[in-house]
Amino acid sequence: MEIQGKTAIVTGGASGLGAATVRMLQEAGGRVVILDLNEPGQIGEAVRFARTDVSDAAQVVAAVQLAVEAFGAIHFAINCAGIGDPQKILGKDGPASLERFARVIKVNLIGTFNVARLAAAAMARNDANANGERGVIVNTASVAAFDGQVGQASYSASKAGIAGMTLPLARDLAQTGIRVMTIAPGLFNTPMLASLPENVRASLGAMVPFPSRLGHPGEYAQLVRSIIENPMLNGEVIRLDGAIRMAPR
């Protein structure tokens, strides 16, 4: 699908991968509604903001309604919102907290599904283009879905769930003309890593076979654009990781 003149909702769009995606969509002539708990800096004529907990059904319904009322339709949904809360299943203080585990699953996995289902309902009302397309959903997993490290049980489980539902969602929505793809990023220079000392970030980047550096958020956004514009990309998970395979620690 062409981005020019189309509307996207981007979760986690106030920073990191989401913010880079918002910029890309704007530069390509698209309109964006950012769903985030933090207010973004890039609010303008073609951008709206909805303070949203992605795991809350009513809040996402309101955000989708805002997008439709402001711009007439939703054509793309890019899910970048997510959290991490590392803990070992058995630590010095005993077994892992079930509440902390459930919160990560709720935000990352259930939140992604919540946004996808409500965005799909809005996209289904669009007129199909020449290829029969009505919309594109891009979800964000992680290499942790495949190479989970020590303490990453909740994060890995949530991201593996996102990867695992990619094909069935694509099959569910095939007759509607809505494509579903997932990106599994590796080590990217996002705010989560920006808080680390420079030598630590350099060490992490050196773990990547090639290019031996942290990924740039713009490179994630570039892949989102390719997915939107290429109608044959559907039902697949793409690792965007410079060929890294994470060690246990």
Residue 155 forms part of a structural domain: yes
Residue 195 forms part of a structural domain: no
Q: For residue range 102-145, list pLDDT tens digits in order.
A: 999 999 999 999 999 999 999 999 999 999 999 999 999 999 99
Residue 162 forms part of a structural domain: yes
Give the residue-averaged pLDDT of 155-173: 98
Residue 181 forms part of a structural domain: yes
Task: Spot the catalytic one: 101, 155, 188, 220.
Answer: 155
Task: Determine whether 220 is an active site residue.
Answer: no
Residue 198 forms part of a structural domain: no
Q: How confident is the model at residue 50 (pLDDT cuts 50, 70, 90)?
A: very high
Residue 208 forms part of a structural domain: no
Q: Write the secondary structure of the chain as one string of H (helix), E (strand) and C (coil).
A: CCCCCCEEEEECCCCHHHHHHHHHHHHCCCEEEEEECCCCCCCECCEEEEECCCCCHHHHHHHHHHHHHHHCCCCEEEECCCCCCCCCCEECCEECCHHHHHHHHHHHHHHHHHHHHHHHHHHCCCCCCCCCCCEEEEEECCHHHCCCCCCCHHHHHHHHHHHHCHHHHHHHHHHHCEEEEEEEECCECCHHHHCCCHHHHHHHHHCCCCCCCCECHHHHHHHHHHHHHCCCCCCCEEEECCCCCCCCC
Q: Which of 80, 34, 78, 32 is nearest to 185 (CA)?
A: 80
Q: For residue range 192-207, list pLDDT tens digits in order.
A: 787 778 887 888 899 9
Q: Which structural domain range is residue 78 located in?
A: 7-190+217-240
Per-residue pLDDT at 223: 98
Residue 209 forms part of a structural domain: no
Per-residue pLDDT at 193: 80
Question: What does the alpha-carbon distance between residue 63 and residue 26 come to, in Å, rounded to a whole number?
Answer: 19
Residue 39 forms part of a structural domain: yes
Please report, for the domain that includes residue 53, its CATH number. Answer: 3.40.50.720
Give the residue-averaged pLDDT of 19-35: 97
> What average pLDDT does the structure give for the chain?
95
Per-residue pLDDT at 29: 97
Give the residue-averaged pLDDT of 95-102: 98
Per-residue pLDDT at 42: 66
For the ranges 11-15, 191-195, 222-226, the lowest mean pLDDT is seen at 191-195
Q: Say what percent of the chain tops pLDDT 90.
A: 90
Number of separate domains in the chain:
1
Beta bridge partners of 139: 79, 182
